[in-house]
Amino acid sequence: MDKKTALEALSAEIRACRRCPLGQTRLQAVPGVGFPDARVVFVGEGPGYQEDRKGEPFVGPAGQLLDKILASIGLSRQTVYIANVVKCHPMKDPSNPDLRGNDRPPLPEEAAACMPFLQRQLAVISPEIIVALGASALRALAPQVAGLTKVRGTWMSYSLPDGKTFKLLPTYHPAALLRNPNWKKDVWTDMKALRQELGLRENS
């Protein structure tokens, strides 16, 4: 089975999943988007209110900022893959899906239930590099390390249960940058390191 077909099958499985309580209340699961043969996979925390409605990751203001970050080093949604640790949005009040304000980090049990999907996506795509966007993604991919601010921009590694290992680069989540614009220079530093690791030209 080719990578595109394998990812589509996995996405269908995710859309039907009810493995954890988030699956009971979400409007749409958000499997992920991007290039099946991507060299880089960007991993965020989980779908927010807008992603829950569209079924796509990073579609709000944070998503627009992620697009700019990608473009700054010559990447795009068409050349990378974007997914989250958990695939379903935590609904604030299932009886009123239009209530906002519950974009919380996943609970440990939610992340544990959903991580096998991300691991299977990584196994299919087999990227060179994973970029962990924010503390929740880092916690899921490198639970042994200190907080994000201590290790941001540090090259690490992530191994699948079968031992396949990828380079891992933690940086801030775009939503955090919207709240703390002074962190943008750190993310720019990290993106330059990513560009260099990928061997991309400065104006590519």
Q: Hey, which residues between 28 and 57 contact ligand SF4 (CB under 6 A)?
A: 29
Task: Please choose, from the candidates 202, 201, 121, the residue with its C-alpha nearest in 3D space to the C-alpha of residue 166.
Answer: 121
Stretch that binds ligand SF4, among 32-40, 71-79, 82-90, 138-146 (CB under 6 A): 82-90
Of 14 and 62, nearer to ligand SF4 (C-beta) is 14
Identity of residue 171: T
Does position 85 bind ligand SF4 by CB under 6 A? no
Of 38 and 113, nearer to ligand SF4 (C-beta) is 113
Does position 23 bind ligand SF4 by CB under 6 A? yes
Q: Hey, which residues between 1 and 20 contact ligand SF4 (CB under 6 A)?
A: 14, 17-20
Does position 22 bind ligand SF4 by CB under 6 A? yes
Task: Please choose, from the candidates 5, 3, 13, the residue with its C-alpha nearest in 3D space to the C-alpha of residue 41.
Answer: 3
Does position 88 bind ligand SF4 by CB under 6 A? yes
129 in Cβ contact with 200 (< 8 Å): no
CA–CA–CA angle 63, 88, 1 (5° rounding): 85
| Strands of the chain, DSSP E | 33-34, 40-44, 81-84, 129-133, 156-159, 165-171
Q: What are the tokens at 16? A: 């039907």
Measured distance CA(20)–CA(23) in Å, rounded: 6
Residue nearest to ligand SF4 (CB): 23
Of 31 and 170, nearer to ligand SF4 (C-beta) is 31
Q: Which residue has the tokens 């589509």?
A: 8
Q: Least CB distance from residue 78 to ligand SF4, whole Å? A: 25
Of 17 and 75, nearer to ligand SF4 (C-beta) is 17
Number of residues that bind ligand SF4 (CB under 6 A): 14
Measured distance CA(88)–CA(34) in Å, rounded: 18
The contact set with ligand SF4 (CB under 6 A) reads 14, 17-20, 22-23, 29, 86-88, 110, 113-114
